[in-house]
A = this chain, B = another copy of it.
């Protein structure tokens, strides 16, 4: 219930932002963005495409990529580029946050670390950098795979 209204609000938020940027809200875009936000995990472009096909059988994978790039330009999506697990997207929480990746089953979990930006900013400043973003991936075994 709360879950549902959350994703609905997030969808409205993203669509409003795109509109304010002068972008057109085509049915394809709305369907793609909805699919990304509704996905419980961190879907690949292919998975997003598959989720939409039942509703819009003519939507092409190219349009999915174009929409993802649109969202990236608007800072409304997080693009996790893995060579081993493909590019994964997160439009629910576009703000950078650490991820835990299971090297056995490939599951990706979100985490939070309150002072992470203080830490990365400090590291950057020491070297004369001005930090604007970060990415922290922690690889290991998830609870299920640890047991086995």
Residues of chain A touching chain B, judged by Cβ–Cβ distance below 8 Å, are 81-83, 87, 98, 100, 102-103, 109, 111, 113, 119-120, 123-124, 126-143, 146
A134 is contacted by which of B119, B120, B132, B136 (Cβ under 8 Å)?
B136
* A138 and B131 within 8 A (CB): yes
Residues of chain B contacted by A109 (CB below 8 angstroms): 127, 129
Tell me whether B136 and A132 are in contact (CB under 8 A). no
Report the nearest B residue to A81, measured CB to CB.
B83
Q: State in angstroms the CA–CA spacing of A142 and B143 once bound together.
A: 39
A100 and B113 contact, CB distance less than 8 A: no
Asked whether A132 lies within 8 Å of B146 as measured between CB atoms, the reply is no
The CA of A74 and the CA of B130, in the complex, are separated in Å by 35
7 nearest A-B residue pairs (beta carbon): A128-B143, A131-B140, A133-B139, A81-B83, A132-B140, A135-B137, A134-B138
The distance in angstroms between the C-alpha atoms of A109 and B100, with both chains bound, is: 24
For the complex, give the distance between the alpha carbons of A98 and B146 in Å: 26
Given known contacts A136-B134, A136-B135, is B129 in contact with A100 (CB within 8 Å)?
Answer: yes
Known: A136-B134, A137-B134. A128 touches B142 (CB 8 A): yes
* Chain B positions within 8 Å of A127 at CB level: 100, 109, 111, 143
